Amino acid sequence: MTNDVLLAKIARLEAQARPLEPDAMERLALREPVMTYAETFLEALDKLPAYHDTEDLGSGIRSSRIVEDPGSIEAALDLLREHVDGPGLNPASAGHLAYIPGGGIYTSALGDYLADVTNRYAGVFFGGPGAVRLENLVIDWVRRVVGYPESALGNHASCGSVANLIALATARDAAGLAGKDYHRAVLYLTSQTHHCITKSLRFLGLGECVIRHVALDDRYRMRPDQLAKQIRDDRSSGLKPWVVVASAGSTDVGAIDPLDRIADVTTQEGLWFHVDGAYGGFFALTTEGADLLDGMERSDSLVVDPHKTMFLPYGSSVLLVRDGKHLAATHRHQANYMQDATPARDEPSPADLSPELTRPFRALRLWLPLMVHGVGPFRAALEEKMLLTRYFHEEVARLGFWVGPPPELSVSVFRYVPERYRASDSEIDWDEVNAYNARLVREIRRDGRVFLSSTTLEGRFTIRLAAVVHRTHLDTIRTTLAVLEEMTNRLGR
C-alpha cells in the first residue's frame, strides 16, 4: 500500500466509524427518546405488576437481529419495552417483596450516567486521582457506618457474592493457608448462610476444606456455645479451624447471628471472623439496627450491599477488611506496563485491593445519592421497612397464618395451615399443607400485584416477605395482606 492509498483508506474508515461519536444534535435525538422511555416507565410504575407472567417469556427479543447497518433508537426501545421490561419480576416495583430486592434509586442512575459519560478511571490513583479519592471517601463513610477503625481498607465490588469471595481469599492468605492445608482447614457457618460462601470456596480452590454447620437457636441464629465446642473438637482431632462466617441478616429469615458473642469465640480461638451483612449491614444506620448489629465492628471482614439496603440499582457491594494490610497483601501485583503509575501514600488504589483492574467508577452511584439526599432519608427508609415488616407480621398472624419468629430486620416468614388438612389438632398433613402454600405463592405471582418468594424451613414450605425496595410503603403492605386474604379465601380456608 502506498502512503496515498493508506491515507485514503484511513479517511474512509474514519467516516464509517464517525457515528460512534454523535454530535450535540445527534446526542439530543438519542437522549430524548431514552429519557421519555425512563419517565414513562417511572410514571407507570405503581400500575405495573410486580410480577408479569407472559406467554412467550421475552422470547421475541431473540428474533431481533444485530446487523451491520444502523437502526433507530426508537426501534431498540420498542424491543426493550415489549420483550425485556415486561416479562418476569419487576425489581423496581414497590410490590417486589421477594428474595432480597433493591429497587434502584434514580439519583444513582444519574451517577451511573455521569460515570459512563466521563468514563473516569477509578482503578489506579495515578490515572484518576480525584476518582480514586472519591472511591475511598465513600469506603470511609461505609467504614464509619459499620464501626470499623481507621486501619480498615475496602473496595466497591460488583455484588455481594464477589465481595464475599474477596473476603475469603483475604482470610485464606491472612491465615497463611497453603494448598497442603486446605483439606484440614475448617470453615464454620450455619444452614442459613448464603450459598455464595460455599460457591466461593470452590472458586478459590478451597472446595476440599471442612465445612461445619453450627447448630441454630430457635430464631435461626448461630449458637456461639456450639461454635466454641465444635472448634475445640476440631482442634483436638487435628484439624485447623480457620474462619467463622456469620450472617448479619440472613437471606431466608433476616436473622442476625449473635455477632458480639461470636467475636468472643473467634478472638479467644484466633480465627478470622467474617460477617456477611450483604442484606442487613446498612441497618446499622438506624438506632435499633445498630443495637441488633452490635459486635459487627469486631469482625475481621465484612460485606454490605448498597444495591440491597441502600436501594441502589444492581451492581454495588462494599467489602471492608478491618486490618487493611491483609486486603492489600492478597492483591499485591506488579506489571511492567504499570511503571508510570506512582502510588499515593495516603490514597490506596482500588486495583490494589481487588481482583479488578479496569472497572466502572462505582463509588459515584452511591456518592451522588448521598450528596443529593443526605443520609437522613436512607435512615428513615430503613427504619420504615423494619416497622412495616413488624406490622405485616402481626397482621398476617391475625389473618390466621402461622408466623415465624418476630422479624429482626425486614423479612417475615409465614405459611397457611387450612383447617381441612388437620385430621386432629396434632395431625397436620404436611404434604398437603406444603402443596397448598406452593399453590398460594403461584397464585399470588399470577395475580401480579405483589411478588412474594418462598423457602423451606425445617422441611416445610414457607412464604417470605422482604421489604427492601425504597418504594414499598404501608399501602403495599396493606395490598399484600388483602391479596393473601383473598387468595386463601379462594383456595379454601
Ligand X SMILES: *Cc1c(COP(=O)(O)O)cnc(C)c1O
Residues at the interface with ligand X (CB under 6 A) = 100, 159-161, 194, 196, 247, 250-251, 276, 278-279, 305, 317
Query: Measured from the CB of residue 32, what is the shortest distance to ligand X in angstroms?
Result: 33
Closer of 200 and 434 to ligand X (Cβ): 200
CA–CA distance, 389 with 380 (Å, rounded to integer)? 14
State how far the Cα of 146 lies from the Cα of 268, in Å rounded to an integer.
22
Take residue 60 and report the three cell numbers written for it.
421475541
Nearer to ligand X, 120 or 307 (CB): 307
Our CB check for ligand X shows the closer of 382 and 481 to be 382
Tell me the closest approach of the beta carbon of residue 142 to ligand X, in angstroms.
Answer: 15
User: In terms of CB distance, is 132 or 293 closer to ligand X?
Assistant: 293
194 vs 261 by CB, closer to ligand X: 194
Nearest to ligand X of 300, 305 (CB atom): 305
Closest chain position to ligand X (CB): 160
Query: Measured from the CB atom, is 155 or 161 closer to ligand X?
Result: 161
Task: Give least dist CB 237 to ligand X, A.
Answer: 30
Least distance in angstroms from the C-beta of 307 to ligand X: 6
CB closer to ligand X, 277 vs 348? 277
Task: Tell me how far, at minimum, the Cβ of 161 lies from ligand X, in Å.
Answer: 3
State the minimum distance, in angstroms, from the CB of residue 98 to ligand X: 12
3-class DSSP string for the chain? CCHHHHHHHHHHHHHHHHHHCCCHHHHHHHHHHHHHHHHHHHHHHHHCCCEECCCCCCHHHHHCCCCCCCCCHHHHHHHHHHHHCCCEECCCCCCECCCCCCCCCHHHHHHHHHHHHHCCCCCCCCCCHHHHHHHHHHHHHHHHHHCCCCCCEEEEECCHHHHHHHHHHHHHHHCCCCHHHHHHEEEEECCCCCCHHHHHHHHCCCCCCEEEECCECCCCCECHHHHHHHHHHHHHCCCEEEEEEEEECCCCCCCECCHHHHHHHHHHHCCEEEEEECCCHHHHHCHHHHHHCCCHHHCCEEEECHHHHCCCCCCCEEEEECCHHHHHHHCCCCCHHHCCCCCCCCCCCHHHCCCCCCCCCCCHHHHHHHHHHCCHHHHHHHHHHHHHHHHHHHHHHHCCCEECCCCCCCEEEEECCCHHHECCCCCECHHHHHHHHHHHHHHHHHHCCCECEEEEECCEEEEEEECCCCCCCHHHHHHHHHHHHHHHHHHCC
Smallest gap, in angstroms, from Cβ of residue 315 to ligand X? 9
Q: C-beta of 182: minimal distance to ligand X in Å?
A: 23
Q: C-beta of 158: minimal distance to ligand X in Å?
A: 8
Radius of gyration of the chain (CA): 25
Closer residue to ligand X (CB): 250 or 410: 250
Q: Would you say 167 or 444 has its CB closer to ligand X? A: 167
- Residue 97 CB, shortest distance to ligand X, in Å, is 14
